[in-house]
Structure 1
Amino acid sequence: MAGRLLAIGECMVELMQAEGGLMRKSFAGDTFNAAYYARLYLPSDWTVDYFSAVGKDMISDEMLAFMQERGIGTEHVARLDGHAPGLYMIHLKDGERSFSYWRSVSAAKLLARDGDRLRKAIEASDIIVFSGITLAILPAEDIETLLSELRRAKAAGKRVVFDPNIRPRLWDDADRMRAAITEGARAATLLMPSLDDETTHFGDASLEETIARYRALGVAGQVVKDGSEGATLVFGDERSHVPSAKVEKIVDTTSAGDSFNGAFLARLATGASPEDAARFAADVAAAVIQHHGALVAREKLPKG
Structure 2
Amino acid sequence: MAVQKPVVILGVFVADTAYRAARAPRMGETILGSGFKLGPGGKGSNQAVAAGRLGADVTFITRLGRDPFADMALATWKDAGVKAAVIETPESYTGAAYIFVEETTGNNAIIVAPGAASLISSADIDANAALIRSAGVFVTQLEQPIDAAERALEIAREAGVTTILNPAPAAKLPDRIYKLSDYLTPNETETEELTGMKVESVDDARRAGDRLLSLGVGAAVITLGDKGALLHTARQSEHVPAISAGPVVETTGAGDAFNGGFAAALARGVAPLEAVRFACAVAGISVTRPGTAPSMPTRDEVERLL
> What TM-score range do you get, normalising by the shorter chain?
0.7 to 0.9
- What code does the residue aligned with 1:14 have? D
2:52 to 21, 39, 42: 39
Which sits farther off after the overlay, 219-228 or 107-116? 107-116
DSSP 3-state at the match of 1:133: coil
CA offset at residue 98 of structure 1?
1.1
1:80 to 89, 105, 124: 89
Partner of 2:28: none
Structure 1: which 5+ runs fail to align? 168-176
CA offset at residue 252 of structure 1?
0.8
Do the aligned partners of residues 228 and 62 (structure 1) sit closer, same or farther apart at CA in structure 2, a change above 3 Å counting?
Answer: closer
User: Within the alignment, does 1:96 sit opposite 2:94 as a pair?
Assistant: no
Partner of 2:12: 10
- The 2-side partners of 1:159 and 1:286 are apart by 25
DSSP 3-state at the match of 2:143: helix
Counting aligned pairs with the same residue, the percent is 24
CA offset at residue 145 of structure 1?
4.7
Aligned structure 1 segments of 4 or more residues deviating by more than 4 angstroms = 17-22
Structure 2: which 5+ runs fail to align? 22-32, 199-203
Partner of 1:54: 64
Which sits farther off after the overlay, 62-71 or 284-293? 62-71
Do the aligned partners of residues 272 and 3 (structure 1) sit closer, same or farther apart at CA in structure 2, a change above 3 Å counting?
Answer: closer
Check the 8 A contact 1:53/1:110 in 2, yes or no: yes
Q: CA RMSD in A?
A: 2.5
Check the 8 A contact 2:20/2:101 in 1, yes or no: no
CA offset at residue 71 of structure 1?
0.7
Q: Deviations over 1:4-32 (max 9, x none)?
A: 11111111011224899553221111121
- The 2-side partners of 1:232 and 1:178 are apart by 22
Write out aligned runs for 1:80-229 (5 A): 80-93=89-102, 94-103=105-114, 106-112=115-121, 113-134=123-144, 138=145, 143-167=146-170, 177-180=171-174, 182-200=175-193, 202-205=195-198, 206-229=204-227
1:29 to 14, 36, 42: 42
Which sits farther off after the overlay, 11-20 or 252-261? 11-20
- What code does the residue aligned with 1:110 have? L
CA offset at residue 195 of structure 1?
2.5
Do the aligned partners of residues 217 and 101 (structure 1) sit closer, same or farther apart at CA in structure 2, a change above 3 Å counting?
Answer: closer
- The 2-side partners of 1:195 and 1:280 are apart by 20
- What code does the residue aligned with 1:159 have? T
Q: Deviations over 1:135-173 (max 9, x none)?
A: xxx2xxxx3354134223213311110011234xxxxxx
